Structure 1
Amino acid sequence: MQAFSGRNPEVTETVACAAFPEGIPADIAYGVDLHLKAREDQENDIVFELDE
């Protein structure tokens, strides 16, 4: 899965985190998926936690 998509198909930077060290999927990076549950495409169970 590509980290970014848009008008320019050239990806020049990859945004990563502990859950996705190879690059955060675009649907998470752009807020479509809030990543509150672990996904099948990640190798760990790290998720976003809301402050209470």
Structure 2
Amino acid sequence: MSLTSTAATLVTLAEDAEHGGSHQSLSAYLTGFGALGALLLLLWITTRFNRDR
């Protein structure tokens, strides 16, 4: 299987999923704010346990 045929197959699959899929995706804002919250929590935990003693 060549690179061009693989790319064409992936593009076809992406187009089918975009137009004909019945999957309800999460809101982009919900996903973004959730990821931001998780990263801020990890940053807080890292700085909390990394204090000089």
Give the structure-2-normalised TM-score. 0.21
Give the structure-1-normalised TM-score. 0.21
Higher alpha-carbon Rg: 2
The structure showing larger relative contact order (alpha-carbon pairs under 8 Å, at least 6 residues apart) is 1
